Structure 1
Amino acid sequence: MELDLKQIPRVKTLSKEEFLSEYFKPQKPVVIERFIEDWPAYSKWNLDYIKEVAGQKTVPLYDDRPVKHDEGFNEPHATMKMSDYVNLLKTEPTKFRIFLWNILKEVPQLQKDFTYPDFGLRLMKGLPMLFFGGYDSHTFMHYDIDLANIFHFHFEGKKQCILFPQSETKFLYKIPHSLITREDIDFANPDLEKWPALKNAKGHIAQLEHGNVLYIPEGYWHHMKYITPGFAMSLRAIARKPQNFGKAVYNILFMRHFDGVMRRIKGQKWIDWKNERAITRTHNLLFGK
């Protein structure tokens, strides 16, 4: 038995009016296949180009090790020169990923290679972020702290994306006071006997290739698995639904700070309690146990 995942609709291109009526208003994901072919980035952006323009930059790297109580929010697990990281990506599998790497701050010249698309939403122009990963690396299933609408532009290689709306949270073994699910769930090939609630979750799946744009509606859970080495850029727009905007404010102003305080007070016991609570709460809701 596998996860209940529907293929995300794919279109060649999309007008602003079509996007707003068919995908944004009903909050449905979509893959736009040929939307950015007029961007210089479409023909220029690959790993070799990134190595050329940013090779001497020191970059933060993250892997798939479990969260520990003494690690800060988004604290990197290692650092490396971008040139060395690209060489690593191209020569061997690696779990190291880069995420939330701000183009404006790190490599301003990359701004010349793309334009901010008009989807009818006000994009946060100060936050064009790059994400990199090696063969078979993956992110944990998570949703973004600000529950933003995300436009994910993929470059080089292939990547598998699994999405779930917030309505499916009760089936996903969410960790309390955090933005992730249990880290030991392999959403690309889950053990549904060990994690039976996942049988009830209804989600979406797509494979991205160079030049594809994935729209991730606000607050959607997402899991990214790199089938080959590659990278992507995300642009975002604030959550419009009042409940999502309210949850974003709560996450940013309270939740992450409360979690940080509890880590300092209780240490690893806090992490262990949260991991156990993810199971008991999910099964209590689902099975009444």
Structure 2
Amino acid sequence: MKDELQLTEIPRVKRLSKKEFLENYVRPQRPVVIEDLTKDWPAYEKWSLDHIKEMAGEKEVPLFDNRPISAKYKFNEPHERMKMKDYIDLLKKGPTNYRIFLYHLLKEVPALQKDFKYPDIGLKLFKEVPMLFFGGENSKVFMHYDIDLANILHFHFVGKKCCILFPPSQTMYLYKVPHALITREDIDFLNPDYDKFPALREAKGMITELGHGDTLYMPEGYWHQMTYLTPGFSMSLRAAPRGLKNLGKAVYNLFVMRHFDNYMRKIKGQKWIDQKNEQAIIRTHRKNEIS
């Protein structure tokens, strides 16, 4: 896998001070995996699929799968819903594409909020309820970057998850879809088709495998793609972009680009989606002088 894409391992540390984190990773905008950041949380010992099932089993949860984005669904509209206890049973049965994405479970079950704390690591983390993410074996989150260009601490629990990251400087090689925050969804970043997507040969990214208790720091605007190697779940805490340039981009994404894209979907339907996917290839090849 790493022989096909130009991927280097994300550095890993056991612990680091606030000063080390800011100077070595936040200011230069470099990813890092912190292995022991959550070991003093109650969640480190308590959070398992069975515990979530016990605490939140009756809650109805939104589910997403790997079907391509289409005009049929609105932005972040779920493809299915079921009770959490049934979803966890589904995860345990075997591979499934169904994922929970950006879910406020801790708001639905306030008792879970007692199991973690906001780390004093130098980021001014938003104090609203964190988001949770669940996935079954082999389920994938498409390559994207976050609409608010936040600095993200991504805490993983249960099992293993493969994470591929690219810095914003590599966008020109990734077949970004216009008026969107994603790459072409038919790109398999674990086994890329270089005949169809030759610019990917030039992209330089990073990779890691997260296990229970690992924390991944993703700098603002970083592209990321996740593959659940086993059933598991994660939690994210966020901090605002540190500079005015990215803060301006975040405001544009939230209040201009997203609404424009939704309007065009409503007016042109699937033709708009198809046109954007075609332009992703045309624009990428033009930038890289690929005929």
User: Once the 2 structures are TM-superposed, how far is the Cα of residue 104 of structure 1 from its aligned partner?
Assistant: 4.0
Determine helix, strand or coil for the equivalent of 1:247: helix
Query: Does residue 1:287 correspond to 2:289, yes or no?
Result: yes
Matched residue, 1:245 = 247
Tell me the C-alpha RMSD between the 2 structures: 0.9
Q: Is the 8 A contact 2:107 2:129 kept in 1?
A: no
CA deviation map 1:204-231 (0-9, x unaligned) = 1000000000000001000000000000
User: Once the 2 structures are TM-superposed, how far is the Cα of residue 288 of structure 1 from its aligned partner?
Assistant: 5.5
Distance 2:231 2:136 in 1: 4
CA deviation map 1:84-106 (0-9, x unaligned) = 00000011210000011114422
Matched residue, 1:7 = 9
Query: Does residue 1:123 correspond to 2:125, yes or no?
Result: yes
Distance 1:288 1:95 in 2: 34
Q: Is the 8 A contact 1:70 1:264 kept in 2?
A: no
Distance 1:33 1:104 in 2: 23
Distance 1:35 1:70 in 2: 41
Unmatched runs of 5 consecutive residues or more in structure 1:
none
Matched residue, 1:213 = 215
User: Once the 2 structures are TM-superposed, how far is the Cα of residue 127 of structure 1 from its aligned partner?
Assistant: 3.6
Kindly provide the amino acid, as one letter, of the partner of residue 97 in structure 1: R
Kindly provide the amino acid, as one letter, of the partner of residue 162 in structure 1: I
Distance 2:36 2:100 in 1: 25
192-201 or 134-143, which deviates more: 192-201
Distance 1:55 1:288 in 2: 52
User: Once the 2 structures are TM-superposed, how far is the Cα of residue 265 of structure 1 from its aligned partner?
Assistant: 0.8
Matched residue, 2:161 = 159
Determine helix, strand or coil for the equivalent of 1:68: coil
Identity %: 66
Q: Is the 8 A contact 1:104 1:126 kept in 2?
A: no
Distance 1:176 1:143 in 2: 13
TM-score, length of structure 2 as denominator length: 0.98
Aligned partner (choices 270, 273, 276) of residue 272 of structure 2: 270
Matched residue, 2:61 = 59
Distance 1:40 1:276 in 2: 48
Aligned partner (choices 138, 141, 148) of residue 140 of structure 2: 138
Kindly provide the amino acid, as one letter, of the partner of residue 122 in structure 1: K
TM-score, length of structure 1 as denominator length: 0.98
Distance 2:72 2:228 in 1: 28
1:159-178 aligned within 5 A: 159-178=161-180
CA deviation map 1:68-125 (0-9, x unaligned) = 1131110000001000000000112100000111144221111100000012111011
Kindly provide the amino acid, as one letter, of the partner of residue 161 in structure 1: C
Q: Where do 4+ consecutive residues of structure 1 move more than 2 Å? A: none
Query: Does residue 1:90 correspond to 2:92, yes or no?
Result: yes
CA deviation map 1:176-212 (0-9, x unaligned) = 0001000000112111222110111111100000000
Kindly provide the amino acid, as one letter, of the partner of residue 247 in structure 1: K
Distance 2:288 2:251 in 1: 28
Aligned partner (choices 205, 219, 223) of residue 225 of structure 2: 223
Distance 2:34 2:73 in 1: 37
1:11-26 aligned within 5 A: 11-26=13-28
Query: Does residue 1:49 correspond to 2:72, yes or no?
Result: no
Unmatched runs of 5 consecutive residues or more in structure 2:
none
Q: Is the 8 A contact 1:93 1:136 kept in 2?
A: yes
Determine helix, strand or coil for the equivalent of 1:263: helix
